[in-house]
Amino acid sequence: MSGEFAIEAHGLSKHFGDLKAVSHLDLKVPRGQIYGFLGPNGSGKSTTIRMLCGLLTPTEGSATVLGTEVPGKAHDLKPKIGYMTQKFSLFGDMTVLENLQFIAEIYSFPTADRAARIDELLEKYDLVGQRRQLAGTMSGGQKQRLALACAVLHRPELLLLDEPTSAVDPQSRRDFWANLFRLAESGTTIMVSTHYMDEAERCHRLAILDRGVKVADGTPQQLQATTGMHIVEVLAEDPYRAQEALDRAEHVASVTQLGIRLRVLIPEQLQDPAALVRDHLESSGVVAEVRLTTASLEDVFVAVTMPATEEAP
């Protein structure tokens, strides 16, 4: 493989009439890493992935994927990529084995090697017991493993995953990510879109999208170190009353409740943020413990997607 990056995009944009689904997106995705797309529904994650694999034509900008220009030469790219959608898109009225055989045929996988490759995937993704089962009757986790097996059957260099764990239980999500790490360790580049913070933290690098615009890009550790905010944690006897009081405070950029704790964002140019929060709570008659803490990825997301009108002066 040549080139440091599996994906390079410059000024990539996609408009649907007046809607700017993706706007002037620049990307560099290193080979052999898991690169995450974090953002809420409607932020442009799926549209970007579809442009990168040649399913959508950009309104503006350009992209090179595995050394191939898209969408111009997308046909040459298809044998090199695997694509897994959010919705189970295989054939429910075919067995697990039949789905894998069909995918092998689609990708013209060498006939002499098909049976061995399918057996390998059935074993690797814990589907041996379901090989004769109709895909439509399987559990969410089993369908997910089958979809991943089909996506990697032809040993793609790049795997594009569009919110692949949105319909499965936490254990299935953990198992799925264990499989992704093994693929990355073997050299596969993976781009995965998600709106789960814990999944984003597992990525080697990630971009945060907000209304079609990339608002942050880096490793999870880099993003957590550069929020532009002090993070103050508040443990109050009455968290609802504490949040109401802090929502009225002049220098508070955001307040988020997590269980009985509050996460308060204060612009980093302000001095002694814990004292600011403590003084405001005391003046409002709220009893609470206040301390500075480090940023979580959720704090980063809140900070970079915050509308300008909500930012503290």
The dihedral through the CA atoms of 174, 104, 6, 2 has a sign that is: positive
Let me know if 103 is exposed, middle or buried by CB neighbors in 10 A (0-12, 13-18, 19+).
buried
pLDDT of res. 310: 44
Provide block-wise average pLDDT over 10 residues at a time, the chain (313 residues).
83 95 96 93 91 93 93 86 84 95 95 96 95 93 92 96 82 90 95 90 94 94 94 94 93 90 95 95 94 94 76 41
Q: Which of 195, 303, 305, 208 is nearest to 255 (CA)?
A: 303
CA distance 70 to 80: 13
Contacts of 174 (CB under 8 A, 6+ apart): none
Q: Which two tokens stand for residue 13?
A: 């944009």
pLDDT number for residue 209: 94
* Dist. CA 156–CA 82, nearest whole Å: 6
* pLDDT value, residue 312: 40
Walk me through the domains of the chain, giving residue ranges and CATH numbers.
5-218 (3.40.50.300), 227-310 (3.30.70.100)
Output the pLDDT for position 231.
Answer: 97
Instruction: Say how far residue 283 (Cα) sits from the centre of its chain.
Output: 41
Distance of alpha carbon 126 from alpha carbon 148, whole angstroms? 12
Is pTM beyond 0.85? Reply is yes
Instruction: Calculate ∠ Cα 256-262-264, nearest 5°.
Output: 70
The predicted structure's pLDDT at residue 311:
42
pLDDT of residue 171: 86
